[in-house]
Amino acid sequence: MTQAEPSSSPRADADPGNSLPRHVAIIMDGNGRWAQRRGLPRIEGHRHGVDTVRRTTEKCAALGIEALTLYCFSSENWKRPPVELDFLMHLLEQYLVEERRTLIDNGLRLNMIGRRDRLPAGVLRELEITQQLCADHTGMQLVLAVDYGGRAEIVDAVRQLAAKAQRGELQPDAIDEAMFSEHLYTAGLPDPDLLIRTGGDMRVSNYLLWQISYAELWVTDRSWPDFREEDLMQAIQDFSGRQRRFGGLVPG
C-alpha cells in the first residue's frame, strides 16, 4: 500500500469512512532501554518520557482527538526495584502538578484508570486537585492508566455486577456487552480505534484487553522518549489507510 505523506489534517485527507481515530491508546514503552543505550540510569528515560507525553497530548488535542489513554504504570510494574518505583511515583506526582498549565491551556479533561489503593497519598492528592481544576473543561479526555491491569479491570467489573445480582438489583440474563463496558474503568469512553506501542515489542502487556478488541495496532521500534509528532502523524495516516471490517465484508 502506498502511504501519503503525513498531513496535519488527516481528517480532511483520509479515505472516507476511516478518518481520525476518536480514541488513541498508547503503550509508552522503551524508556529504560533508551537511557541504557546512552549509558544513563533507567530513570533518565522516564524523565525524558514526560516531555513526549506533553508534546503528544498537545498534538492529539490540536488534531481534535476525543480521548487519549496513556499507559503510565501497569499493575505488573510493581515488580520493579524500589528505587525505580519511588522515582516513577515521584515523577507522576510532579507531572500532576507541573502539567496543570498544559491541561488548562488545552482545555483538557483528566481521568485516571486503575486501582487506587496502592498509590502514594501525594499522587492521589495532586490528582484530585488537578481534576478539580479541569472539571469544567470540554476538550479532549486525557486518561492516565496507573496501577492499571486489563485483567484486574475485568475482575473488578465482574465483582460489581455479581454484587448487584446478589442484592437482587440485576438479573444475570440482563448482562450484555454494553452493560459490561459500563462497569469498566473506561465507562463512557469510546473504545480505542488506534493502539500505538513504542519500543518495538509486539504485545499488549495487559492493556485495555476488553476495549481493544477491534483497535488497529501500530508498533514502532522508536523508544518513547524519541517518539515525535511525525511518528504520531504517521500512525494516524496509516490508520486512515487501513480497512476496518469488524468481521464483515468490504462494501461493494
Residue 151 near ligand IPE by CB under 6 A: no
Catalytic residue ranges = 29, 77
CB 244 within 8 A of CB 18: yes
Q: What DSSP designation does 228 have? A: -
Would the annotation count 46 as a binding residue?
yes
Q: Does 201 bind ligand IPE (CB under 6 A)?
A: yes
Q: What is the DSSP string of 19-61?
A: -S-SEEEEE---HHHHHHHTT--HHHHHHHHHHHHHHHHHHHH
Q: How far apart are CA 101 and CA 105, in angstroms?
A: 6
115 is in an annotated binding site: no
Which residue lies nearer to Mg ion by CB, 29 or 99?
29
223 is in an annotated binding site: no
- Partner from ligand IPE, Mg ion, none contacting 140, C-beta within 5 to 8 A by type: none
Q: Is 132 left (phi over 0), alpha (psi -120 to 50) or beta?
A: alpha
Taking the least distance from each CB to Mg ion, the nearer of 76 and 105 is 76
Angle formed by the axes of helices 229-241 and 42-63, to 10°? 50
What φ, ψ does residue 76 adopt, rounded to 5°?
Answer: -85, -15
User: In this chain, which residue has its C-beta nearest to Mg ion?
Assistant: 29
Shortest distance, CB of residue 85 to Mg ion, whole angstroms? Answer: 14
Query: Has 252 been labeled as part of a binding site?
Result: no
- For residue 224, give Cα distances in angstroms to 86, 100, 227: 20, 22, 5
Residue 31, marked binder: yes
Establish whether 206 is an annotated binding residue: no
| Binding flag, residue 29, ligand IPE (CB under 6 A) | yes
CB distance 224 to 47 below 8 Å: no
Please report whether residue 203 would count as binding ligand IPE according to CB under 6 A.
yes
Segment holding 1, helix H or strand E = none
> Any contact of residue 87 with ligand IPE (CB under 6 A)?
no
Per CB under 6 A, the list member of 63, 68, 72, 157 interacting with ligand IPE is 72
Among positions 22, 33, 54, 164, the unique one binding ligand IPE when judged by CB under 6 A: 33
β partners of residue 74: 148
- HSE at residue 33, side-chain half, CA atoms within 13 A, is 12
C-alpha cell at 239: 490508520
Q: How far is the CB of 236 from ligand IPE (least distance, A)?
A: 20
Which does residue 240 touch among ligand IPE, Mg ion, none (CB within 5 to 8 A, set by kind)? Answer: none
Select 10 or 207, whichever has its Cβ closest to ligand IPE. 207
Applying CB under 6 A, does 73 fall inside the site for ligand IPE? yes
Q: Quick one: 192 or 199, whose CB is closer to ligand IPE?
A: 199
Q: Which residues are annotated as a binding site for Mg(2+)?
A: 29, 216
Q: Which residues bind ligand IPE (CB under 6 A)?
A: 27-33, 71-74, 77, 88, 199, 201, 203, 205
